Chains A and B, each alone.
Chain A
Amino acid sequence: MLRRRPGRPPGRRLGLGLWLAAGWIGLVLLAALLADVLPLARFDATLAGPPQSGPSLAHPFGTDGLGRDVLSRVVHGARVSLGVGVGAVLLGLAVGAPLGLLAGYRRRAADAVIMAVNDVAQAFPALVFALAVVAFAGANLRNVVVVLGVLGVPSWVRLVRGATLSQAEREFVLAARVLGARDRRILWREVVPNVAVPASSYAFIGMAVVIVAEGSLAFLGLSVQAPTPTWGGLINEGRTLMETAPHVVLAPSVVMFLTVLSFNLVGDRLRALTDVREIGLEPVRQVSAAVPAAPHPVRDCLLQAEELRTHFVTPRGLVRAVDGVSFTLERGRTLAVVGESGSGKSMLIRSILGLLPGTAVRGGTVYLSGDDLTARSPAEMRSVLGPRLGTVFQDPMTALNPVRTVGTQVAEPLRVHLRMGRRQAREAAARLLASVGIPDPARVLRRYPHQLSGGMRQRVTIAMALSCGPDVLFADEPTTALDVTIQDQVLRLLHRLREERDMAVVLVSHDLSVVARWADEVIVMYAGRVVERGPAAEVFARPRMPYTEALLQAAPRLTGPAHHRLRVIPGRPPDLADPPAGCAFAPRCGYARERCAAEAPPLLAEEGRAYACWYPLTEEARSIGR
């Protein structure tokens, strides 16, 4: 039976800040509602205390120039701010949301018209407009609410349209449309509930925006008129007393700041709740996964990995991406690393190069000509990366910086590592491009990556990797993203370059036909571990580990019978945060027996190769398995 322990759902902590913010909003709201009932001096009662006196028990925020209680005035000001906020947000929502839904759902003409109007609205100086309208139409609560509400409409349209657009593309909405459901029904049932969350988040942010806008109007004397106090008005009045009684201006300022901050914070957290991108970005604890390294001989070879481990500490637990990988590599040889995606191949390369994300923990040792790379500082490591270790990645479309010319990028390592001058580096770069088979290198140097074809770009990345004459070239799926016809050219090129420069190549691939043709040795990885290792020809002709066999059967073979059936490997690679107890491949293995699920097989060496399996395949088993 499969042992499954469902991982805890990723923690969506709302945080203390949110509760403080919500509490503050509640407090201000309550104070505003109960302003007349609260045991406060009247906001317009002069000489409630001595003028310009500082905070005291009777007047917690002190008194202003006329001896009026500042706390009472701030509390009454909250009525205007929050009242205008709620009114304007509701108005903006009521007008903007239907328009946004329409634009996002209907597209075409409706969308074009609505967005054009929005464009115009954006070029409109909103505050100036609000000032003019309020000044001419009369500074009262209703006008302020209407003006700020109307000014908020474009933002609401944009927000709701965006949310609707992303929903309207979802399968369930498309399916409902295909099934002939009526638009109104689709909108209400499928779209509106999903737009509601971003809309409620924006309602809080909109409150903050409106409160600031109302404050600005009031500051200029164009909101609700005296005697009703407003926050902006209080700050404007307090300005004149700044030298003698700064508390008069500070009190409303701080209250206003906290209120705006709280609304922003609540809105931001609501948005973060629905924004998948931010989940899992929380900083993780660093845990040492270093396993004490067993004593091992340092061999006389070019590259040696000993018990290399790369673990990630995630909210779901420790993920063992690379779990004790060892190999050696001689000059002039090609080592292939094969396995399904997620088996840890690429992570192995990154571990060797020390190019891991900050959350990774690395253990084990890597020797380059007997020199321990894992003991090097990042700065010391940089002198090896480029000059001695070259790297090529899978996708040439993303491997080049889109905003720098090919020439700048190819010449950069030459200038940094080999300290060449600008012209010298440029000439060397042109020679490099020629050596990887790029016609008219001088012209290509001036090009940007997007102006080149995929095959050309991969040649450029190879030229960059080779620029400082490395001893080892790491090629991580170098042809996967390329056309079949280009694939062969690139592999031939890599092979030729290996011969010419007497390099070693580490070739990562899931394509066994590539590996069989170009590799000398192969290691097969599964769930972060080496499950089989040996000379490429041997391993592919007579796999001992069932996983290797399964991989071979899943690969199309040019030499096989014409109607040979391709077999997919059943099941999925294991969850690396929660791997099976025994052999990681056991749940998917056709040959598995009881022992496989209970006990993990060690990697056993045998006649120049090695495999990790309790019941290795023999000739008879292979014929049955077919």
Chain B
Amino acid sequence: MIVVHRLVRLLVVLLAVTFLSYALLTLLPGDPVTQILGLSATEEAREQVRRELGLDQPLLVRYLDWLGGLATGDFGHSYITRMPVADELAGRLPVTLELLVAAQLVALGGAIPLGVAAARRAGRALDQALTALSFALLSTPVFVLGVLLILVFAVTWQVLPATGWTPISLDLGWNLTSVILPALTLGCGQLAVYARLLRTDLIATLQEDYITLARARGLSPRRILWRHALRPSAITLVTAVGLNLGALIGGAVIIETLFGLPGVGRLIVDSIFSRDYLAVQGGVVLISVGYVAVNLAVDLVYAAVDPRIRRA
């Protein structure tokens, strides 16, 4: 029941996001026709292109038309390359997905042990060092961190490539090498967010009666921390993973440009520069759907983490 309710709500959000972005992109100054034909084209030629692209139709008609196509998986054709936007996106999606997943792995893989360690010794040296570190990481823009990592690992030590991408299908080893630095750059900021959240939450959980009682039953601190405290504390973390996806995708746009990865973010930036509305729009839809879908999944993961929610 709750799933249906959420689905309806998310669908409404999606419609709103797509319409708003469609309208905004169209209403903003800047004409794709100029981009295609150049400034010197005659008015007739421009009118012709405009008709071909359907740009002479009213906004709402164009949006509904585009939305209808979307339902069948047709994202429209690029104004510039005349290629289906869907194909372009499909080709680039794996790169972005791999980047995002790898970044989340970096973030969670670092945040869970660090958050647990800090909570266990709250107020001590390790905790304070971690707080300072996460604060510093939170204050480092991704492109600054990326540049610094490139400087250290690619320029000074020359152990990892600074730019470039090898698809998994070509060579797994090289693929992993090319994803390490981008994932590290993107994941570190999230790592700091997650570690802080988990630490705060764990400290609160460790004050609970059931934790004191677990100690009163002679269970070891390690067991209490990992088996009794971590799961009740994980809820905020799961929420954060969903909500932070937006920030993560924003970061991916920069990262893909910085590291020269052929992903969706890079496509969006390139398309923005070439005024390729439908390609931008397709990227926006993909990102919004991803965001919305992940947050729906987060709601479902809740139920798995916390049985109290299941009865709702």
Contacts of B307 in A (CB 8 A): 402-403, 448, 450
User: Could you tell me if A124 and B17 are in contact, using CB atoms closer than 8 angstroms?
Assistant: yes
A-to-B contact residues, CB < 8 Å: 119-120, 122-129, 131-133, 135-138, 208, 212, 215-216, 219-220, 232, 235-236, 238-239, 242-243, 246, 249-250, 253, 256-257, 260-261, 264-265, 268, 281-283, 350, 353, 355, 378-379, 381-387, 389-391, 393, 395, 398-404, 412-413, 416-417, 448, 450-451, 461, 464-465, 467, 474
Contacts of B243 in A (CB 8 A): 122
Contacts of A281 in B (CB 8 A): 123
Q: Which of B140, B209, B280 contacts A398 (CB 8 A)?
A: B209
Task: Answer yes or no: B174 CB below 8 A from chain A CBs.
Answer: no
User: Could you tell me if A413 and B219 are in contact, using CB atoms closer than 8 angstroms?
Assistant: yes
How far does the alpha carbon of A136 sit from the alpha carbon of B277 in the complex, in Å?
A: 10
User: Could you tell me if B216 and A355 are in contact, using CB atoms closer than 8 angstroms?
Assistant: yes
How far does the alpha carbon of A448 sit from the alpha carbon of B231 in the complex, in Å?
A: 14
Q: Which of A208, A256, A283, A393 contacts B212 (CB 8 A)?
A: A393
How far does the alpha carbon of A398 sit from the alpha carbon of B136 in the complex, in Å?
A: 37
In the complex, how many angstroms separate the beta carbon of B121 from the nearest chain A beta carbon?
Answer: 9
Contacts of B254 in A (CB 8 A): 127, 216, 219-220
User: Could you tell me if A136 and B29 are in contact, using CB atoms closer than 8 angstroms?
Assistant: yes
User: Could you tell me if A219 and B143 are in contact, using CB atoms closer than 8 angstroms?
Assistant: yes
Q: Interface size for chain B: under 10, 10 to 19, 20 to 34, or 35 or more residues?
A: 35 or more
In the complex, how many angstroms separate the beta carbon of B206 from the nearest chain A beta carbon?
Answer: 10
User: Could you tell me if B219 and A395 are in contact, using CB atoms closer than 8 angstroms?
Assistant: no
Residue among B144, B148, B231, B268 with max Cβ neighbours from chain A (10 Å): B144
Task: Answer yes or no: B213 CB below 8 A from chain A CBs.
Answer: yes
Task: Answer yes or no: B30 CB below 8 A from chain A CBs.
Answer: yes
User: Could you tell me if B223 and A416 are in contact, using CB atoms closer than 8 angstroms?
Assistant: yes
Stretch at the interface among B69-77, B107-115, B285-293: B285-293
User: Could you tell me if B308 and A264 are in contact, using CB atoms closer than 8 angstroms?
Assistant: no
User: Could you tell me if B272 and A127 are in contact, using CB atoms closer than 8 angstroms?
Assistant: no
Contacts of B231 in A (CB 8 A): 403-404
Contacts of A268 in B (CB 8 A): 135
Task: Answer yes or no: B249 CB below 8 A from chain A CBs.
Answer: yes
Q: Interface 1/0s, chain B 243-278, versus A by CB < 8 A?
A: 100100110011001100000000011001101000
Write the chain A residue with the least CB distance to B253.
A127
How far does the alpha carbon of A398 sit from the alpha carbon of B306 in the complex, in Å?
A: 15
In the complex, how many angstroms separate the beta carbon of A63 from the nearest chain B beta carbon?
Answer: 19
Q: Which of A123, A128, A208 contacts B14 (CB 8 A)?
A: A123
User: Could you tell me if A131 and B143 are in contact, using CB atoms closer than 8 angstroms?
Assistant: no
Write the chain B residue with the least CB distance to A263.
B139
Contacts of B29 in A (CB 8 A): 136-138
Contacts of B16 in A (CB 8 A): 120
In the A-B complex, the 3 residue pairs with the smallest Cβ-Cβ separation, listed nearest first, are: A385-B218, A127-B250, A136-B28
Task: Answer yes or no: B160 CB below 8 A from chain A CBs.
Answer: no
User: Could you tell me if A400 and B210 are in contact, using CB atoms closer than 8 angstroms?
Assistant: yes
In the complex, how many angstroms separate the beta carbon of B246 from the nearest chain A beta carbon?
Answer: 6
Task: Answer yes or no: B2 CB below 8 A from chain A CBs.
Answer: no
In the complex, how many angstroms separate the beta carbon of A574 from the nearest chain B beta carbon?
Answer: 26
A selection of 29 A-B contacts at a CB cut-off of 8 Å is A120-B13, A122-B243, A123-B14, A126-B250, A128-B249, A131-B253, A131-B268, A136-B25, A136-B30, A215-B144, A216-B143, A219-B257, A220-B253, A243-B155, A249-B147, A250-B151, A253-B147, A257-B136, A257-B139, A282-B123, A382-B220, A400-B210, A402-B210, A402-B232, A402-B306, A403-B305, A413-B218, A451-B311, A465-B217
Q: Which of A261, A350, A383 contacts B135 (CB 8 A)?
A: A261
Task: Answer yes or no: B20 CB below 8 A from chain A CBs.
Answer: yes
**Supplied contacts A132-B24, A137-B30, 16 more A-B pairs, CB within 8 Å:** A120-B17, A124-B17, A125-B249, A131-B268, A132-B272, A220-B253, A249-B147, A249-B151, A253-B148, A260-B141, A264-B139, A353-B216, A381-B218, A383-B218, A386-B217, A398-B209
Contacts of B144 in A (CB 8 A): 215, 235, 253, 256-257
User: Could you tell me if B219 and A125 are in contact, using CB atoms closer than 8 angstroms?
Assistant: no
Residues of chain B from 112 to 149 with CB closer than 8 A to chain A in the complex? 123-124, 135-136, 138-144, 147-148
How far does the alpha carbon of A212 sit from the alpha carbon of B142 in the complex, in Å?
A: 9
Contacts of A378 in B (CB 8 A): 221
Contacts of A131 in B (CB 8 A): 253, 268-269, 272
In the complex, how many angstroms separate the beta carbon of A378 from the nearest chain B beta carbon?
Answer: 8
Contacts of A402 in B (CB 8 A): 210, 232, 306-308
In the complex, how many angstroms separate the beta carbon of A162 from the nearest chain B beta carbon?
Answer: 15
Contacts of B151 in A (CB 8 A): 242, 246, 249-250
Write the chain A residue with the least CB distance to B251.
A127
In the complex, how many angstroms separate the beta carbon of B217 from the nearest chain A beta carbon?
Answer: 4
Contacts of A129 in B (CB 8 A): 21, 24, 284
Given A220-B269, A403-B305: A132 and B25 interface contact (C-beta under 8 Å)? yes
User: Could you tell me if A125 and B246 are in contact, using CB atoms closer than 8 angstroms?
Assistant: yes
Q: Interface 1/0s, chain B 291-312, versus A by CB < 8 A?
A: 1100000000000011110010
Q: Which of B209, B212, B217, B269 contacts A464 (CB 8 A)?
A: B217
Q: Interface 1/0s, chain B 201-243, versus A by CB < 8 A?
A: 0000000111011111111110100011001100000000001
How far does the alpha carbon of A136 sit from the alpha carbon of B232 in the complex, in Å?
A: 47
Residues of chain B from 162 to 201 with CB closer than 8 A to chain A in the complex? none
How far does the alpha carbon of A187 sit from the alpha carbon of B140 in the complex, in Å?
A: 38
User: Could you tell me if A124 and B288 are in contact, using CB atoms closer than 8 angstroms?
Assistant: yes
Contacts of A350 in B (CB 8 A): 212
Contacts of B210 in A (CB 8 A): 398-402
User: Could you tell me if A283 and B123 are in contact, using CB atoms closer than 8 angstroms?
Assistant: yes
Contacts of A260 in B (CB 8 A): 139-141
Contacts of B155 in A (CB 8 A): 242-243, 246
User: Could you tell me if B208 and A398 are in contact, using CB atoms closer than 8 angstroms?
Assistant: yes
How far does the alpha carbon of A401 sit from the alpha carbon of B305 in the complex, in Å?
A: 13
User: Could you tell me if B28 and A132 are in contact, using CB atoms closer than 8 angstroms?
Assistant: yes
Given A124-B20, A235-B143: A133 and B28 interface contact (C-beta under 8 Å)? yes
How far does the alpha carbon of A417 sit from the alpha carbon of B220 in the complex, in Å?
A: 11
User: Could you tell me if B218 and A403 are in contact, using CB atoms closer than 8 angstroms?
Assistant: no
User: Could you tell me if B14 and A135 are in contact, using CB atoms closer than 8 angstroms?
Assistant: no
How far does the alpha carbon of A383 sit from the alpha carbon of B30 in the complex, in Å?
A: 75
In the complex, how many angstroms separate the beta carbon of A126 from the nearest chain B beta carbon?
Answer: 6
